[in-house]
């Protein structure tokens, strides 16, 4: 792609401040509406936040890492940024949409990485998981469950021994967190077209919360989760450091543990 005008969005953390001075010294920060691309400087959390905030402008996003790991990000560089962007590879992803019932209200949230449901008290969660009207598991006693996209499968999902999904797999992963009954249930991989319903079976005694990436909802009754193909995020990655390559490297690391 041809890149002339860049709009920079830079995190306000102490780690990002030194990079901010370097960038603004070398580059003009063009207005958002006049820019060709949005360059996001920060970590994965800031990238997720920025993607949702600016998605409506239909611009491609190029991330540069100033955080700890930055799975969604490219390496930071101060020279030839336009050149790197012009040679980058485009990945288009759609988020999960969660419709959440709390008391008598329905709230909606979007997740690029994952939707996680957690026990909210000392009591374990008691939940039912369905695909449409078909039971995946009638009753799961656990600390919670994660519904993950391919982009998020190497994040929290991997840390609880969930499967890594290829970016083009058109799948979602359901992974239990510390399952107690049934103790050996490992979760399930479904088509990304699935409609996943998670219901709290004991609202009063076993409250649960839901987190969509970094947005939390408490005391939920039920959540209906599916992929929203109408929303698309355009992510740019350096030619030799694509998202697909990062996922494949994580698959290799997992196999060698």
DSSP H helices, 74-134, are: 81-86
Let me know if 143 is a catalytic residue: no
The C-alpha atoms of residue 8 and residue 32 are separated, in whole angstroms, by 9
Question: Which one, of 167, 168, 166, 148, lies nearest residue 157 by Cα?
Answer: 148
CA-CA-CA-CA dihedral for 43, 216, 173, 252, to nearest 10? 30
Euclidean distance between CA atoms 245 and 223, whole angstroms: 32
Burial (CB < 10 A; 0-12, 13-18, 19+), residue 193, is: exposed
220 and 100 Cβ atoms separated by less than 8 Å: yes
Catalytic residue selected from 11, 44, 114, 213: 44
Which residues, at least 6 apart from 103, have a Cβ–Cβ distance to it below 8 Å? Answer: 219, 221
Catalytic residues: 44
């Amino acid at each position: 792609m041809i890149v002339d005008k860049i709009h920079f969005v830079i995190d306000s953390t102490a780690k990002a401040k030194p990079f901010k001075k370097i960038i603004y010294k070398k580059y003009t920060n063009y207005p958002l509406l006049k820019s060709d691309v949005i360059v996001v400087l920060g970590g994965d959390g800031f990238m997720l936040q920025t993607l949702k905030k600016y998605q409506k402008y239909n611009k491609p996003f190029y991330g540069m890492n100033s955080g700890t790991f930055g799975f969604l990000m490219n390496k930071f560089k101060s020279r030839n940024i336009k050149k790197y962007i012009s040679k980058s590879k485009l990945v288009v992803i759609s988020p999960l949409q969660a419709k959440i019932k709390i008391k008598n209200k329905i709230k909606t949230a979007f997740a690029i990485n994952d939707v996680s449901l957690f026990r909210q008290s000392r009591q374990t969660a008691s939940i039912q998981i369905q695909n449409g009207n078909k039971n995946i598991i009638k009753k799961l006693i656990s600390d919670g469950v994660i519904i993950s996209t391919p982009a998020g499968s190497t994040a929290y999902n991997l840390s609880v021994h969930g499967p890594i999904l290829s970016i083009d797999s058109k799948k979602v992963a359901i992974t239990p967190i510390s399952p107690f009954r049934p103790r050996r249930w490992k979760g399930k991989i479904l088509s990304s077209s699935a409609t996943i319903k998670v219901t709290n079976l004991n609202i009063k005694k076993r409250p649960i919360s839901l987190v969509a990436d970094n947005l939390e909802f408490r005391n939920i009754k039920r959540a209906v989760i599916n992929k929203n193909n109408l929303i698309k995020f355009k992510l740019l990655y350096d030619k030799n450091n694509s998202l697909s390559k990062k996922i494949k490297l994580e698959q290799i690391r997992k196999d060698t543990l």
